[in-house]
Amino acid sequence: MPIEEPLSPVRRSPSALRGSAAARAHATLAVGLAFCALAFWFEFRRAEGGNSLSWAYVFEWPLLAVFAVYMWWKMIHPDGEVTAKRSAKKAALAPEFDGMLQAWEQSQRDLHQTRAGDASNDSSVDTERPSS
């Protein structure tokens, strides 16, 4: 008899940013990209003027901007690809543990039925106190 819903706890992936938190992340990215663009332009002008060390910064600022976009994307869409890959894989169970799995599933069904029965009995009990 197959089980319709999983009885084991499910690990939830972090939720995506929404609302004001997402707006702050977008604004931070915009400010960061503007700063990287200005720093790139500043260092490029210095490198053209003869400062050879500035050539390293000319390439560093765009890389920092790319990293900022990557981190922004990870904050907006946390764990998206990893969760999809994990859910596609089904955990394999060794054949020698199949009986243990069936026994555990049966005990979980019994527990849920017992709890459901207790909840219905509690609601049918008269909670009024006799007057004295």
- Token digits for 45? 């002008």
State pLDDT tens for residues 58-111.
Answer: 999 999 999 999 999 988 887 765 555 555 566 677 888 888 888 999 999 999
| Percentages (nearest 5) of helix, strand, coil residues in the chain | 70, 0, 30
State pLDDT tens for residues 15-64.
Answer: 677 788 888 989 999 999 999 999 999 999 999 999 989 999 999 999 99
Q: Are 13 and 74 in contact (CB under 8 A)?
A: no
pTM: 0.49
- Residue from 70, 45, 75, 66 nearest 57 by CA: 45
